[in-house]
Structures are given as structure tokens and as C-alpha cells.
Amino acid sequence: MIGRVAVASRSFSKHAVLRAELLARWPTARFNDAGASLSGDALVGFLAGCDRAVLALERVDEALLARLPELKLVSKFGVGLDSFDLPAMARRGLSLSWTPGTNARSVAELALMMALALLRRLPEAQADLRAGAWRQPKGGTLTGRTFGLLGFGAVARELAALLSPFSARLLAHDPVPDAAAAKRLGVSLVGLDELLGASDIVSVHVPLLPATRGLLDAARLGLMKPSAVLLNTARGGLVDEAALLDALDGGRLAGAGLDCFAEEPPSDRRLLGHPKVLATPHIGGSTEEAILAMGRAAIAGLEAGRPASDFLAR
């Protein structure tokens, strides 16, 4: 293949199968073998001289692009586009390849696991045992609960399907609802306030955009039942973490499952150590199956990008 490819993603770079499949099509591809999280000067140096790049959580902005005039196409390894300055990419005529839903089942299974664990109060039980205490906190079952899906994209639809055996009442809120999918999955489409107030579990599945940053602030968290649990396997900036901590401490929320944080890794460790929180280090898409699916989509995308301007209407 004609072209020079750089793979900045660490997980892609260390995956033997994906490396082999990429090299079969792009023999001169460059990988992030140092395993460093690349940004600023380091990312510019790594991408220099390449016209195509496979990126995951690396930030792409105007300042970076100004120093990489040869870069013409970015293929996304993963599903979120919040790390990309799409207007800047569009102004410079870059192409973008992005395949949503490649890790949907993986993230949905993590959300389901978190819901079950929090309802059974497993973080508290485990902490007690490790501290030498034998206490048996009374939890609850998922069966028959009301489960709210904040966002109704690929992950939420996978989660709705996984919830079928639990006879749960399923609610969803999405600015652009898929009525056909909702009907097929037995999901009721409702307003945001209704979802927050009625749900025993609220699972967040929306992209991080200017309009959704801080979506779950103190006022909206205050609409939730004190017995409810919140799950966020999407993006950390969607939840006001200070307000969440205050709600947990004040008994206005029963628990939280967090796979993502506003700052990663978090410097404020109060949520990480909270007895009502199940925290994981952004591993929703970290399954072998999801990594292969995301990687293969990124490889295919090196030949099939669309103008970045096409994504501005999202």
C-alpha cells in the first residue's frame, strides 16, 4: 500500500494479531512500542512524516494539526470522538474513519456486571472481608427493577437485550430516539427527568459533547431515588463528580459504578475509595473481542475515511 501509517494507540500497538494484520497491508507502519501515552511534542514527533494515523484517546486539536501538515487521514481505534477537534480537522481538510458500536457488547456487559454488583452491595462486602469483618449487607436483586438508559445508542441497545431475562422495566431517553429499536427491545422512551426519577438503576450511554458535559449535575442527581445506583461507562465529563460524591456521602444515592472519570487517572481519589463505589480504570472496551473488532475497523478505515466535516452534525 502507498502511504505512511503511524499507530499511536498503545493497546493496538502491543496486540500481535492486529499488528500482523496491519503490516500485511501497510508494511512500513510505525507502532507505539514504547507504550507511552502520547501528547504534545511526543505525539507530534511520533506522527511526523505520516499521512495516516490510528488514534485512540490521543487529543487532536488545531495546534497539533498545524505541526503535522502531511497528516491527511485519522482512523479511530475505539468509539468516542470527544478527543478530536472536528472543526479543526474539517478546516484542514482531514478525513476521518470512525465505526460506532464496535465495543458495544463489551461495554454493555460491564454495565450489567456493575448493576448486579452494586445492587448486592459487593464493594462494601469485599471491603469488610478484607478488613477482617464478617458482615452480611442486605442487597437486592435486579429482577423486576426499573432500569433507565440515558442515551439509546449501540451500547444501550445491547444492554437492553442483555436485561431481557431479568423482567426489568426498561426506560430510555435520547434526543434522537430510535422508536423501532425501542419497540423491538421493549423499551419505553421517556423524558430525562422522568427517567431519573423513576429508575432504580441509571446507566449513562451518551457521547461527551459541549451540550452533554456536566449533564448529571447536582440538580439532576437530586431527581434520583436515594435507593438508586448510577452507572457511567461512557465518559467521565458527563457526571459532576463533586456532586456525585456529595450525594453518596449524604445518603441521597445508594451507589455508583464508574468506568471513566473527568481526569484519567483521577488525582482526587475520594470516589475511588468510597465504600459505595465500584470503580474500574476505563476498561469497558478492554476485552479481546472488542479490541479485535475496534482494531480491524481501524485498519479498514485507513482506506475508507470520510471528510471530517461530515461528522460535525453529530
Residues marked as catalytic: 235, 264, 282
In angstroms, the CA 40 to CA 60 distance is 9
Rounded to 10 deg, the angle between the 122-130 and 104-119 helix axes is 70
DSSP 285: T
> Do the beta carbons of residue 300 and residue 26 sit within 8 Å?
no
How far is Cα 260 from Cα 242, in angstroms, rounded to an integer? Answer: 14
Compute CA 102 distance to the chain's CA centroid, rounded to the nearest angstrom.
Answer: 12
Cell 464493594 -> residue? 123
CB 142 within 8 A of CB 168: yes
Rounded Cα gap, residues 33 and 41, in angstroms: 17
Of 1, 6, 17, 21, the residue nearest 299 (C-alpha): 21
The answer to whether 19 and 299 are in contact (CB under 8 A) is no
How far apart, in Å, are the Cα atoms of 6 and each of 30, 43, 102? 5, 10, 21
* d(C-alpha 173, C-alpha 296), whole Å: 31
